[in-house]
Chain A
Amino acid sequence: MNEKNVKVLAAEIRLETLKVIHSRGFGHVGGSMDLADLMAVLYGEVMKFDPKNPRWEDRDWLVLSKGHAGPVAYATFGLMGFYPMEEAYTLNQPGTKFPSHTDRKLTPGVDLTTGSLGQGVSTATGAALGNKIDGRDNHVFCVIGDGEADEGQVWEGFHFAYAHKLDNIIYFIDNNGYQLDGPTDDILAHGSLAKKAEAFGLYTQEIDGHDVTAIYNAIQNAYAKKGVPSCIVLDTCKGKGATFAEPKHDHSSQPNEEQWAEAIAAAEKALADVKNA
């Protein structure tokens, strides 16, 4: 893996994610920004995809089960050439192809529709099953929020994937510690998500979700594990890289223009710094 290139891509994704959300003025900043490093590893190094043919049969699939992280996907897909980046600056405008939550009928690059939490786990699992039936050499990457893991359906999906030995799916849990009403420990404490995933029979790793090399290596470890599905718990910082959101781990933010200008300037500086490192 070219670590510098991936770090540059992550910084670009953060900057564009801010711009996408800024185009509407508000949105799910926190839960989008903390996924930039994962998205950079996936689209910069790991995944097979064709921006000119988003439904290419042998592609790797991305399912953002935490569908409210749509903006980080729109930023990534724009940077990868699925559409001109500017198109995504129509987030939630009338008639847009870029809604708050990811929609397979609207946005090139979105493989499955999500929004009602927990459901992407099952549909991603079904897609992995379908790909396995057809003998495709590809993987499904499913991103779950730690708050989302309150939903029983998440665990039903893990159960199914284990029982059907789906080793072509990797579930990532974005373990940022916060959900809408506050810290996950205060709302409905999970204990250890990694231990629970492991108990469901998944090959489970827990890593720093902002360490691109650790993410890449964990995916390679998962690829090597045959006959069982994988889970990678990403310990992340909600709002990472958004100056107004990171300190408070906001679920969704409505910053003023001054705060937006500050955040975008900081993201531009972060990009320049990593390019020059």
Chain B
Amino acid sequence: MNVKLIGEHKKDSRACRDGLALTLNEMMAEDKSICYVDCDLMGCINTKQLMKNYPDRAFEAGIAEANGAGVAAGLAATGKKVFYHSFGTFSSRRCYDQIYMSAAYAGLSVRVLGSDAGVTAAFNGGTHMPLEDAAMYLSIPETTVLDPADYDQLASITRQLVNVEGVSYTRFVRKGIIQVYGEGSEFEIGKGVVLHESDKDVATIITSGIMVDESLKAYEALQAEGINVRVIDMFTWKPLDEELVIKAAKETGAIVTAENHNVTCGLGSVVANCLAKNCPTIQEFVGVQDLFGQVGPQDYLMDVYGLRAANIVEAVKKAVARK
């Protein structure tokens, strides 16, 4: 890992999807076995360039996600390293049985990409808002589940995905979002990133995706009140960096998870599972509280669903008070 934390809460001028598309373009130039299958959403994540540059290896499956997932698995059976994309709602719910049986159960590696993670689906609304996508992939054996925070983290993950065996699911944001990390930052799938820590920490915030920036803001607000907390970017939800979670729980005694996903079956749940088995610890869950998505600007949705630094601050104080 080579992580440069910026954490200035400034919006990145680069669209997050390009962290994926440009990286894939470079990878396909180097490795002729990489194939790309999309379900009529190339235009949304700037991957039409792949079909232009590699017409024999980048394909449209059309608006038929189930078949597209099966085609991806079939390509994998012939030795191809396959990436498969649709919106997060459709690359989970519309092709779940196909990814489960044709790919995962069959031992074939498919790298599933789900765009518009959680409330970032914004103006496409509740029908297109994946708040359970990661849950579905978490429950398939031997999968890797990822929720990157920004452009550079997505690019770094994408470069590694090609070597990840089995089914992986990466939920990501299409548009320009807050830049958390400096250009060229490198991450290791399966390893959480400690963004702040001290020997005075009274709680740990474990987070990922768009909630990393909110967690950093919460850290600053708590610091101003004299409350020290640890902050961990746990962009790999599965396999979970259990060692880091257990260490944080033992050293700080309280955990707050913050996720852009339904809290009943997401990052908070996998952390809770780990803690219950290893060192039962007080935990508070920031995230979507078992609700459906809805239409609206992302800022509005983050307010409505309680995905703000203020919600994390409140959760930290509640967790500490429960000690």
Q: Do they bind each other?
A: yes
A interface residue numbers (CB < 8 A to B)? 57, 103-105, 111-113, 115-116, 118-119, 121-131, 133-134, 152-153, 156-157, 159-160, 163-164
C-beta contact mask, B67-87 vs A, less than 8 Å → 1, else 0?
A: 111111111111110000000
Segment 162-188 of B: residues with Cβ below 8 Å from A = none
Max chain A C-beta neighbours (<10 A), residue from B57, B68, B78: B78
- In order of increasing CB-CB distance, the 5 nearest A-B pairs are A126-B74, A122-B70, A130-B78, A156-B67, A113-B106
| A115 to B97 CA separation, bound complex (whole angstroms) | 11
**Interface residue from A118, A130, A159 paired with B74 (Cβ < 8 Å):** A130
Q: What residues of chain B lie closer than 8 Å to A105, measured between beta carbons?
A: 106-107
Stretch at the interface among B58-66, B148-156, B244-252, B269-277: B58-66
A104-B107, A105-B106, A133-B80 known; A124 vs B64 contact (CB < 8 Å): no
Interface contact B106-A124, CB-CB below 8 Å:
no
A115–B98 Cα distance when bound, in Å, is 11
Q: Which residues of A contact B6 (CB under 8 A)?
A: none
B21-79 at interface with A (beta carbon < 8 Å): 35, 56-57, 59, 61-62, 64, 66-79
Assess whether B102 is interfacial by the CB under 8 Å rule.
Answer: yes
Q: Is the pair A113, B105 in contact by a Cβ cutoff of 8 Å?
A: yes
**Least Cβ distance of A99 to chain B in Å?**
11
In the docked arrangement, what's the CA distance between A119 and B73, Å? 10
Check B304 for interface membership: any CB of A closer than 8 A.
no
Q: Which of the residues A125, A130, A153, A159 comes within 8 Å of B62, measured between beta carbons? A: A159
Residues of chain B within 8 A of A111, CB atoms compared:
77
Return the contact of B73 from the options A103, A118, A123, A153 (Cβ within 8 A): A123
Interface size of B by CB at 8 A reads 29
Residues of A within 8 A of B102 (CB): 112-113, 116, 119, 122-123
How many Å from the CB of A10 to the closest CB on chain B? 28
Q: Is the CB of A121 within 8 A of B70?
A: yes
Among residues of A, the one whose C-beta sits closest to the C-beta of B69 is A122
- Evaluate contact between B59 and A164: CB separation under 8 angstroms: yes
Q: Could you jot down 13 A-B contacts, CB within 8 Å?
A: A112-B73, A112-B74, A112-B106, A119-B102, A122-B66, A122-B74, A126-B71, A126-B73, A129-B75, A130-B80, A157-B67, A160-B64, A160-B67
Main secondary structure of the interface of B (DSSP, over half): helix
Q: How far is the CB of A156 from chain B (nearest CB, A)?
A: 4
Contact flag A123-B74 (CB < 8 Å), given A130-B80, A133-B56: yes
Q: Is B101 an interface residue (CB 8 A)?
A: yes
Contact B77 A130 (CB under 8 A): yes
Instruction: Evaluate contact between B78 and A156: CB separation under 8 angstroms.
Output: no
Contact B101 A125 (CB under 8 A): no
Q: Are B67 and A153 in contact (CB under 8 A)?
A: yes
A123 to B108 alpha-carbon distance, docked (Å)? 11
Chain B neighbourhood of A116, CB < 8 A: 97, 101-102
Q: Which of B35, B57, B70, B78 touches A119 (beta carbons < 8 Å)?
A: B70
Query: Chain A residues with Cβ under 8 A from B78's Cβ?
Result: 126-127, 130-131, 133-134
Cβ-defined contact, A123 with B59, below 8 A: no
- The interface residues of chain B lying within 8 Å CB-to-CB of A121 are 67, 70
Closest chain A residue, CB of each to CB of B57: A133
Most chain-A CB neighbours within 10 Å: which of B56, B70, B73, B102? B70
Chain B hits for A115, CB < 8 A: 101
- In Å, the complex CA distance between A121 and B68 comes to 11
Complex contact B64–A159 (CB within 8 A): yes
Question: Within 8 Å CB of A125, what residues of B?
Answer: 67, 70-71, 74
Within the complex, the shortest CB–CB distance from B28 to chain A, in Å, comes to 13
Q: Is the CB of B67 within 8 A of A127?
A: no
User: Are A160 and B101 in touch, CB under 8 angstroms?
Assistant: no
Contact residues in A for B74 (Cβ distance below 8 Å): 112, 122-130
Tell me if A122 and B101 are in contact (CB < 8 A): no
Determine whether the beta carbon of A104 is less than 8 Å from that of B106.
yes
Evaluate contact between A122 and B80: CB separation under 8 angstroms. no
Query: Shortest distance in angstroms between A208's beta carbon and chain B's nearest beta carbon?
Result: 30
Question: Are B71 and A160 closer than 8 Å at their CB atoms?
Answer: yes
Contact of B98 among A103, A119, A130, A131 (CB under 8 A): A119
| A156 CB contact (under 8 Å) in B56, B57, B59, B64 | B64
Contacts A105-B106, A123-B70 given; does A130 touch B64 at CB 8 Å: no
